Amino acid sequence: MQKILSKPWVLILIALSFSILVRMVWVVQFSEISSVRFNDAFMINTNDGYYWAEGARDILNDSYLEGSKSPVNSATSIVTAFLAKILPISFENLIFYMPAFFGSLIVLPIILIGARLGQLHAAFIASLLAAITVSYYNRTMVGYYDTDMLNIVLPLFMVWSLILAFLSQEKSYILFTGLEIVAYRWWYPQSYALEFAFFGLVLIYVLFKERNNPYFFQLLSMMLIAMMGLPDLVRLVGVLVLYGIFLYTNKYTKTLLLFALLAFMLTGGLMPILEKLQGYVFKTPTFVLEDEIPLHFFSVMQTIREASNIPFDVFAARISGHWSSFIVSMIGYILLLKRYRIMFLSLPMLGLGFLAYVGGLRFTIYAVPIAALGMGYFIVLAGEFFKQKIFSQRNSSFLYGAWIFVASIMALYPNLTHIVNYKVPTVLNSSEVAQLDAFSKVSKPADYTIAWWDYGYPLRYYAKTQTLIDGGQHSGAENFPVSFIFFQDQPKAAAMARFAVSYEAKRRAIKWKERQLSEDERTKLPSSNMSWMIQESGFSDSKEFLSALPRLKKPEFDANIYLYLPFRMIPIMHTISRFSALNLMDGSPKKSPFFLFTQRIQEDKDILKFASNITINKSSGKVTLGNQEAMLKALVTVWYDGDGKLHKSYKLINKDGKLNLIYMQSYKGFVLVDDLMYASTFVQLFVLEEYDDELFSPISLTPWAKIYQIKK
């Protein structure tokens, strides 16, 4: 038995099985809940997954629309479409279970690294831990259909190939490294920074230790060629050609390195890295697009939790399961570095994971396997120490095994507890999806559905229409018109919807026609559609343009425009308002409409208590907002009958009041709004279903979401 468990392939199979089996916990927990299923399959639980699913679906159906955002050329969509063709499984089940199988592949490079270092059992413990650690599990669980299912596996294979390249100096590992970089970039185009970090580490080693070794010049050359800012196929050919040259001769290594460096710099070099740092580390509240009319927009990075600083205990728990486990892992990692200096090659992944402390929790996933290796090594090293110094000779093997087992369970336990408690829901429920599926029967692929960016990808997948913003297209400039539509009155909202869609469609059409042209040959479009529409409407000031919107001539657009207003958008209304509550000319903030929604109310005889500092006196109508007071203007009650029809009652409290209380009885929630928000398109169309029939026509009105068509 011991001999069998010393074989890497056996441990890989055990670790793979463990990782996949643990990921079935969610399936068991939700097996009896019908709202997470559609078409007899579980739905996915990440918004971004619908982006790749759209691309895979369009590849399979050959239904790509010119100028659309469908990622038919992305690796994730291509791999998914290929698997859908060859596997006897439905498309919905495929995208749901893919992350569990692909994400579990992390055990392969970990165990292979351990086998090469002679630390197979430490690596086995590490593989079990890494596969289910909090942040890695969260982003590779069933339903989390995203690039994350291979985003750690591929660079970890790069660590493995670099370790073997350093230790063996065999040319095959130069090839493996080049191919891994090409594959990683193909799968995840944002991999520049990590690739360059690996290159920088190798370069430092060469400069200080191996300045006369042609093998390392060849390795650096291969990495530079693989990292060029050229199409994947060109880089793949470059890697293969360069490897052929290395097989043929060991001469001209410095010349080839210089050539590779020039090729790398001339094809993009460091720009992608600097752009990412600008977005995630050097965040600013607003940004300016320099056109003939320079406009200021709110920066979306200020609102994304993934790009926010996190406290230490959260940071540590996401990397190792618990802060104490994290500390032990780091001690183990330091000891591992002390004994195996080659493990310094893993520092780029650990460093990127540590960037989470200033750049946001999304980066913690990179440190998971490296910390796990530290934990595995610490457990084995401690066991060996106990075996030699403490355990009796007669029982040493048994006690050693018991220690390894108990210590491993202790390391795994907080992560297993997290998995059992992490009952993340699907992106949409079955009722919402059924509504969008029915909507897709009346809409057309060229139509646009306007919604907040969180719902862009699901809308494109289920409703099969185009969207203005989504998980990948949501800069402040792009979010402004959508936010404006929700918070302005209906005439302005309808006018902005027509302008925003018309100019977005024009931009896409121009880009599609010019996609084969050089940069100099392309039309010089304004940086933002807002600047473009303001200029072409004859204005030089955004405030004047926005005020005149309802009176301006309607822009030409042949397809239909729809507005999607889901109930689940209500909790983020304050965040959405920030994108349009500013002066575009100078970036100064404007007062946002007042909007408060809560389903947690404390009520006694005279007082409704919304929050610790917001109360309403039921008899007098006085509203206390912290240190301020205001009078209630009206009480509105809305409810649905058994047929799903909305009913309303209106009671005037004080005609001079400033705030309106809306009791959404069917939701058991209250909305407190000022007059400006009460008149907004969102409140009027979603909450009250009071639409101007000259501007909007209802398509589907349910408690979950309202869909309106904007009349031409």
| Per-residue pLDDT at 645 | 92
Asked if the structure places residue 36 within a domain, the reply is yes
Percent helix, strand and coil across the chain, each rounded to 5?
A: 60, 10, 30
Last residue of some domain: 534, 568, 602? 568
β-bridge pairing 659-664 and 628-640:
parallel
Q: Which residues pair with 669 in a beta bridge?
A: 664
Q: Within this chain, do residues 557 and 620 fall inside the same structural domain, yes or no?
A: no
Q: Same domain for 451 and 400?
A: no
Within this chain, do residues 343 and 441 fall inside the same structural domain, yes or no? no
Mean pLDDT of 660-687: 94
Tell me how crowded residue 555 is: count the other CB atoms within 10 A of its CB: 17
Q: What pLDDT, on a 0 to 100 scale, did the predictor assign at position 70?
A: 94
Q: Is the dihedral of CA 477, 479, 481, 483 positive or negative?
A: negative
Q: How far apart are CA 437 and CA 442, in angstroms?
A: 10
Distance CA 188, CA 195 (A): 11
Residues 491 and 557 in one domain: yes
In this predicted structure, the answer to whether residue 235 has a pLDDT above a threshold of 90 is yes
The DSSP symbol for 520 reads G
Domain that holds residue 374: 4-421
Same domain, 487 and 551: yes
Phi first, then psi, for residue 698 (nearest 5°) are: -70, 140
What DSSP element (H or E) covers 664?
A: strand 659-664
Mean pLDDT (the chain) is 91
21 within a domain of the structure (yes/no): yes
Comparing 310 with 608, the larger pLDDT belongs to: 608
Q: What is the DSSP letter of 632?
A: E
Pair 620, 535 in one domain: no
Section 412-427 average pLDDT:
96
Say if 710 falls within a structural domain.
no
Both 493 and 528 in one domain: the answer is: yes
Which two three-digit tokens encode residue 49? 């997954």
Same-domain check for residues 481 and 602: no
Q: How far is CA 659 from the centre of its chain?
A: 37
Which residues, including other chains, have CB under 8 Å from residue 277's CB and lie 6 or more apart?
193
Give 129's contacts (C-beta < 8 A, 6+ positions apart): 320, 321, 372, 375, 376, 408, 411, 412, 415
Provide the pLDDT for residue 55.
96
Ramachandran sector of residue 329 (left: φ over 0; alpha: ψ -120 to 50; beta: rest)? alpha
Q: Phi/psi at 147 (nearest 5 deg)?
A: -65, -20
Q: How confident is the model at residue 303 (pLDDT cuts 50, 70, 90)?
A: low
Identify the three-state secondary structure at position 607: strand
Provide the pLDDT confidence category of residue 301 given band limits of 50, 70 and 90: low
For 78-121, write each residue's pLDDT tens digit.
Answer: 999 999 999 999 999 999 999 999 999 999 999 999 999 999 99
**Rounded CA gap, 226 and 177, in Å?**
9
pLDDT band at 507 (very low <50, low <70, confident <90, very high): very high
Q: Are residues 251 and 106 in the same domain?
A: yes
pLDDT above 80 for 321: yes
Asked if 184 and 44 sit in the same domain, the reply is yes
Q: What is the pTM of this model?
A: 0.91
The mean pLDDT of 208-232, rounded to a whole number, is 93
User: Is 649 in a helix, a strand, or coil?
Assistant: strand
d(CA 202, CA 408): 33
User: What's the maximum distance between 2 C-alpha atoms anywhere in the chain?
Assistant: 93
Question: How many domains does one find in the chain?
Answer: 3
Quick check: 491 and 695 in contact, CB under 8 A?
yes
Cα 604 to Cα 611, 615, 663: the distances in Å are 14, 11, 17
The predicted-structure confidence for 141-175, as pLDDT tens digits, reads as follows: 999 999 999 999 999 999 999 999 999 999 999 99
For residue 546, give the CATH number of its domain. 3.40.1380.40
Mean pLDDT to the nearest integer, 383-403: 78
**Structure tokens, 176:** 């493996």
Do the domain assignments include residue 39? yes
In the prediction, which pLDDT does 305 show? 52
pLDDT confidence bin for 300, thresholds 50/70/90: low
Q: How far from 70 is each of 57, 150, 509, 549, CA to CA, in Å?
A: 9, 21, 15, 31
Determine the angle formed by the axes of helices 8-22 and 91-103, rounding to 10 degrees.
130
CA distances from 348 to 119, 128, 196, 454, 683 (A): 21, 22, 9, 31, 49
CA distance 185 to 146: 15
Do 546 and 635 fall into the same domain?
A: no
Q: Are residues 477 and 620 in the same domain?
A: no
- Positive or negative CA dihedral for 215, 216, 220, 221? negative
Helix or strand holding residue 376 (H, E): helix 368-389
**Residues in Cβ contact with 283 at an 8 Å cutoff, skipping those fewer than 6 apart:** 299, 301, 302, 307
Residue 711 lies in a domain: no
- Per the domain annotation, does 584 fall within a domain? no
